[in-house]
Every structure is written in C-alpha cells, then in structure tokens.
Amino acid sequence: MRRRGGDDKPPVKITRDKFKRALRVFKYVLPYRWAFIGGMVCLGLGSLIFLGIMKVPGEIFNVVSGESQYGLGLGQLMGILFGLLALQSGLSFLRVQLFAIVSEKSIALLRQELFAKLVTLGIPFFEQRRVGEITSRLTNDVTQVQGVFSITLAEFVRQVIVLVGGIGIIIFTMPRLALTMLATFPVVVVLAMVFGRHIRRLMKKRQDQLALTNVVVEESMQTIQTVKAYTNEKFEWKRYVTSLNEAVRISLKTAWMRGLFAAFIIFVMFGALFFIMWRAAIMVQSGAMLKGDLVDFVVFTGIIGGAIASLGNFYTELISAVGATDRVLEILDEESELELTADDKPRKAPRYHGKITYENVRFSYPTRKDVEVLKGINLEIEPGKKVALVGSSGAGKSTIVQLLLRFYQPDEGRILVDDRPIQDFDLSEYRSNLAIVPQEVLLFGGTIRDNIRYGKPDADEEEIIEAARLANAWDFIRSFPEGLDTVVGERGVKLSGGQRQRVAIARAILKDPAILLLDEATSSLDAESEKVVQDALNTLMEGRTSVIIAHRLATIREADCIYVIDNGQIVEQGTHEELSLLEKGIYNQLAKMQFENATT
Ligand SMILES: Nc1ncnc2c1ncn2[C@@H]1O[C@H](COP(=O)(O)OP(=O)(O)OP(=O)(O)O)[C@@H](O)[C@H]1O
Ligand SMILES: [Mg+2]
C-alpha cells in the first residue's frame, strides 16, 4: 500500500491514483468474496434475464402480425415469460441477501479497523482535528462507503450490463439504426464529465459544511454549563444558524447544478431518442423493418436511455463515495503509536527502576510550532525519589509530564528512563510502568468499580476496595446506595472534583507503577481531605519515583528535590530548606506569599 506525500490539501479531483487508492476498500470485502461473487452472479444473470424478458413483447407483436421467425405460439411465449419472471424473482431475493451480508460485514470490519486506528493514534492527531470531524468520518463517511457496496455498485453493474446487452441486441438486430444512436453517446458522456466535475466540488463543500455544523452542536453540548452560566444560548444558536444557513446555501447551489445536469441529460437524451425513433418509423414504413422489431427497438431505446440516465447519477454518487473513502483511508494511513494485538492476556511488562533523566529538552506543541514551551530542561531523578515541579501557571510543568508519557516527542534533547532513551522501549510496556493522576480527571461512563479497575483490568474485588481505601475514596463510595456499582459519567451520578480525583488516585494505586505522576492531584480537595489524601499519596509514593506538580507548597515540603520552572526553564532547584535560603528566589517569594495568605 502506497502512501502519498504532499496530500495535505488535495484538490477535489478524481485522479487515477485516487481512484486506485479508493479501490483499497475492497480489502474489507475480501473475507466475504464468495458472497460478493455470488451476489454479482445473481445480478449478472438477473440483468440478462431482464433483457430476455424485454425481448418478449416484440416477439408477441410479431406472432400477432404473423411475422414470427421462431414459430412459437402465444401460450408458449407467456409460459417462457412467467418462467423468466420466476427465475428473476428468485435471483433478486438471493442477490439482496448476499449483498447485505457483504456490505454489513465488510463495513463493520472497516469501522473496527478505523476505531482501532483512532485509539492508537498519537495525541497530536487529536489536537489537530475537532472531535466532530473525526466522528463524522466514522459515521457519515463510512455510511457513504457502505452505500456503495449495498446499492451503488450493484446498480452500477446492472445498468452497465443492461446498457451493453441492450446495445448488443440492437446492433445485432438492426445495425443501421444502432449506429445513428451510438453517434449521440459521446456528446452525452462529455457533457456528463463537465457537469460532474462541478457537482463533485460542490458536494464536497456541502459535506464539509455539514460536518462543521455538527461540530458546533457538539461543542455547545460539551460546554453546555458554560454556555448557560454566561447566558450565551443565543450566541450559540446564532453560531449554529449561521453555519446551517451556509450549508443550505451550498446544498441549494449543488441542487441547482444537479437539476441542471438532469434537465440537460433529459433534453439531449430524449431529443436524440425521438430522432432515432423517427428514423425507425420511416424504415418500417418502407418495409425495411418488421413491426415487432420496431417494438423491440422502442423498448430497448427506452431501456438504454434509462441506463445512461442512471449511470450519469451513479457517476456523481461514485465520485462522492470516492471522496468519502479517501477521507477514511486518510485516517487509516496515519501512523499508529502502537499495534492492537488480538490476544487479551495482559503482557507482563518488566518493572523499571524509575530513574528519569531529561537532557536539554526543548519542545513546542505541534499545533503551535512557533511558541517554544520548554527551553532546555535538564533533570536527573534517582529511582525512588520524590521530586516536585512548581512554578507559575503556563510555565510548562504539565508539558514536562506529558513528554514523559510519550504523548509528544521532544524537538531537541532526549529523555531517558533507567538510562535508556524512552523511545527505545515498547510503548505499551513503557506506559504500563507509569501512572498519572491528571490535573483534570474525566471518568468513563460506567460504574465506579470499572473506573478504578481501569488501572488493572484483572484486579479482584478486594484489591479494588483496598485501593479505594488507600485513596481515601472508600468512605464516600460506601455512602452511595449502590457502592462500587454506582454509575458515574454522562448518564450517572456526577462526582465532585475531589471525589473524581480520589477515584483517579485509587486507579493509580491499583496500577502500582514504577513512576508516579501527580499533576495537581490534590488541588480539588479541601484542607482536611487534602491531608488524608496526602497521607494516601505518601504511602503510594513509597518505593517508586514520583513527580509531583503542586501549587500549594505545603504539599511538597518533603520532596527530595524541588524544581522551580519559569517560562520553560528550570530556574531554581534544591530541597525546601535550600530554596528557602535564597532570599530573592522565586520559591522563597511563593512560599512567603502562601504563608502570609495562610495566616491572614
Ligand atoms: N496541547 C497544547 N497545545 C498547544 N499549546 C499548549 C498545549 N498545552 C499547553 N500548551 C501551552 O504550553 C504552555 C505550558 O503549558 P503547561 O500546561 O505545561 O503549563 P503548566 O505549567 O502545567 O500550567 P498550570 O500550572 O496552569 O497547569 C502554555 O503556554 C500553554 O498555553
Ligand atoms: Mg498544568
């Protein structure tokens, strides 16, 4: 599978490359190829039988006017007709079943792989895109691809068979007329191409605009509390309406073009058809053609005309499907951080000692390349030590931790764990040695038990309760009527910030990592709970390397080393006592301020 470079802003154009690329979706059909082939055979036979059936009325006419060349009676013809009809019904039934199997299963396969890709993509991917855009690919675009397999492709093949078969029959039985007819085709085809290009462009714009509209909905719903607190309902509504109006405008423009396209095709097509029929009528008049053949001719020109008209539609449909496929493949072609393996057994990862070294690490976020967030960070943390990062908001503390989690790559310098560059470790193994209690804890929809067990999927009940107890979360969990089975998250009980933080701590306790990262882990707690949780954390920190980010200096007094971060650099480092001696030091200033605040 080729990866194409320089594809950031693809022009809306179906190149052969792009089309070939789109054919890759057939990979997902491959496991169901026999059903697919069976469906196609049914389709092909059905289409041929359809042509046969359409041949019968002309023959009836010939029999009635005594010009038949086959010597069949009317009764026999009707018998053949019903036989063919029965056969075609059976084939249609089979075809629908087979194509349903193919399209449903292959699309499920595609969705599976797409989701597997999404969860294994690196953090930067998600920062460069909006959630709505991503979900739209998994839903809208994939649905469109499915449409191709369930309807478009089958219809396309059927119409092509009918077209080719119909033309074949006409050429075979009345070559002169057929030539006149075929002379009009290229005109129609060229016109279809010109129109198709315009429509394609508009369709894509419409798709994009609709996606944007959905993004507005999602963003407002996600931040609904803020929207309400600031009474910005009207603002959000207006934002939605503006986006919606734009979508309608583009849709109508597209519809206008499509209408024009349809009208044009009808006019050109039917103009040509009536012209040809007129020629045929003249031939019958002069005796150069049987009356029954004229009926055949009228029937088949109608069929051919219909086939061409719908092929014109399929063309545009195919194009937007190629576009959708392309957007889906774009995600599938992104580089994953890791592979999902089929076996469910959690691999036993080796335990690290937990030595952490930062060597002149420079970093700017991929979304804001021009702002350097870390400007040469040097750290050396011995195994089992507790270090603290302090500093003003936006200084880069969380960023340091995120680099350690390998969410991003440093631009310069390197990070080592146990004296080995962290990129050299297997990612799953590496991350299984780390646990983080983040600044903002989001819980998954599910029970509290599920949320705690997230740190160790095979943990038993006792371990979970023990972890909850150590995190000082057990008391509040027990106070809920359903205890650990209390459903939290979107549809369940809302936990307070401090409760969520304690669930996250329990999760980290259960994980039992070599390196523990606490990003403001006690920030949402009242002084009393903080003390209890702090005790829990102190137990948790024993025997492992801990990196603690804290604004409240009281919580880090005991740290083996405190690093003061300012504007992406380490400006001071040492123990609480050492740093307090620096009269003009930032740490000292901070400490004084907090102390004063505490006493007043
Ligand atoms: N995902 C991101 N993309 C782009 N810039 C970011 C991102 N996260 C943080 N930043 C920027 O990087 C800088 C450092 O942010 P960081 O979160 O590391 O600060 P912090 O020291 O943890 O602050 P706080 O104490 O408020 O949590 C800030 O200027 C911030 O705007
Ligand atoms: Mg932070």
Mean pLDDT for all residues in the chain:
84
High-pLDDT (> 70) share of the chain, %: 92
Residue 376 CB coordination number (10 Å)? 16
Residue 546's SS3 state is strand
Query: 332 — alpha (psi -120 to 50), left (phi > 0) or beta?
Result: alpha
Give the residue, by CA position, lying nearest to ligand 1 atom 2: 365
Does the reported pTM lie above 0.85?
A: no
φ/ψ of 378, rounded to 5, equals -120, 125
The two three-digit tokens of residue 421, written as one number: 């560059």
The length of the chain, given as a count of residues: 600
Task: Please tell me the distance from the alpha carbon of residue 596 to that of residue 434, in angstroms, as a whole number.
Answer: 36
Task: Please tell me the distance from the alpha carbon of residue 420 to that of residue 425, in angstroms, as a whole number.
Answer: 8
Which one is predicted more confidently, 431 or 600? Answer: 431
Q: Hey, where are the domains in the chain?
A: 106-332, 350-433+551-600
**Which of 292, 297, 268, 267 minimizes the C-alpha distance to 280?**
297
**CATH no., domain 106-332:** 1.20.1560.10
CB 239 within 8 A of CB 191: no
Q: Is it the case that residue 430 has pLDDT exceeding 80?
A: yes
Q: H or E stretch including 565?
A: strand 561-566
User: Architecture of 350-433+551-600 per CATH?
Assistant: 3-Layer(aba) Sandwich (3.40)
The average pLDDT across 206-235 equals: 87
Task: Please tell me the distance from the alpha carbon of residue 37 to that of residue 35, in angstroms, as a whole number.
Answer: 6
The average pLDDT across 208-216 equals: 87
CB 202 within 8 A of CB 210: no
Matching residue, tokens 């690490």: 361
Per-residue pLDDT reduced to its tens digit, 108-167: 999 999 999 999 999 989 888 887 788 888 888 888 888 877 777 888 888 889 889 988
Task: Please tell me the distance from the alpha carbon of residue 352 to that of residue 430, in angstroms, as a whole number.
Answer: 9
The two three-digit tokens of residue 394, written as one number: 């936006």
532 CA distance to ligand 1 centroid (A)? 29
Residue 305's SS3 state is helix
List, in order, residues 6 or more apart from 264 with CB less than 8 Å away.
Answer: 191, 195
Report which ligand 1 atom has the smallest distance to the Cα of 402.
18
Task: Please tell me the distance from the alpha carbon of residue 222 to that of residue 245, in angstroms, as a whole number.
Answer: 22
389 CA distance to ligand 2 centroid (A)? 10
Does this chain's domain 106-332 share its CATH topology with 350-433+551-600? no
The average pLDDT across 407-431 equals: 93
Ligand nearest to the CA of 392: 1
The average pLDDT across 21-49 equals: 89
Per-residue pLDDT reduced to its tens digit, 558-589: 899 999 999 999 999 999 999 888 888 888 88
Q: Which of 8-12, 16-20, 241-245, 554-558 has the highest mean pLDDT?
A: 241-245
Give the residue, by CA position, lying nearest to ligand 1 atom 6: 365
Residue 119 CB coordination number (10 Å)? 10
Per-residue pLDDT reduced to its tens digit, 309-321: 777 667 767 777 8
Residue 79 CB coordination number (10 Å)? 12
Mutate to test the pocket of ligand 1, among 375, 397, 407, 551 (most ligand atoms within 8 A of CB): 397
Mutate to test the pocket of ligand 1, among 129, 374, 399, 407 (most ligand atoms within 8 A of CB): 399
Query: 216 — alpha (psi -120 to 50), left (phi > 0) or beta?
Result: alpha
Residue 505's SS3 state is helix
CB 349 within 8 A of CB 427: no
Matching residue, tokens 């290229």: 186
Q: H or E stretch including 221?
A: helix 185-222
Residue 405's SS3 state is coil
Q: What is the 3-state secondary structure (H, E, C) of 320-358?
A: HHHHHHHHHHHHHCCCECCCCCCCCCCCCCCCCCCCEEE
Which one is predicted more confidently, 116 or 494? Answer: 116
High-pLDDT (> 90) share of the chain, %: 31
Q: What pLDDT score does 201 carry?
A: 80
233 CA distance to ligand 2 centroid (A)? 30
- Determine whether the shortest distance from the Cβ of 396 to ligand 1 is under 6 A: yes
Residue 116 CB coordination number (10 Å)? 14
Q: Is it the case that residue 354 has pLDDT exceeding 80?
A: yes
Q: Is it the case that residue 7 has pLDDT exceeding 80?
A: no
The two three-digit tokens of residue 74, written as one number: 């009317």
Dihedral of CA 435/439/445/451: which sign? Answer: positive
- Determine whether the shortest distance from the Cβ of 440 to ligand 1 is under 6 A: no
Mutate to test the pocket of ligand 1, among 361, 365, 404, 436 (most ligand atoms within 8 A of CB): 365
Task: Please tell me the distance from the alpha carbon of residue 424 to that of residue 421, in angstroms, as a whole number.
Answer: 6
List, in order, residues 6 or more apart from 68 with CB less than 8 Å away.
Answer: 59, 62, 292
Ligand nearest to the CA of 400: 1
Q: H or E stretch including 281?
A: helix 233-285
The alpha-helical segments, DSSP class H, found in 480-526 are: 497-511
Which one is predicted more confidently, 328 or 309? Answer: 328
Q: Is it the case that residue 537 has pLDDT exceeding 90?
A: no
Mutate to test the pocket of ligand 1, among 126, 398, 517 (most ligand atoms within 8 A of CB): 398
Per-residue pLDDT reduced to its tens digit, 164-196: 998 888 888 878 777 877 776 656 666 766 777
Task: Please tell me the distance from the alpha carbon of residue 427 to that of residue 417, in angstroms, as a whole number.
Answer: 13
Give the residue, by CA position, lying nearest to ligand 1 atom 22: 398
The average pLDDT across 67-77 equals: 83
Residue 413 CB coordination number (10 Å)? 16
The alpha-helical segments, DSSP class H, found in 350-496 are: 397-404, 427-431, 448-453, 461-470, 474-479
Distance, CA of 582 to chain centre: 53
List, in order, residues 6 or more apart from 191 with CB less than 8 Å away.
Answer: 264, 265, 268
501 CA distance to ligand 1 centroid (A)? 20
CB 544 within 8 A of CB 354: yes
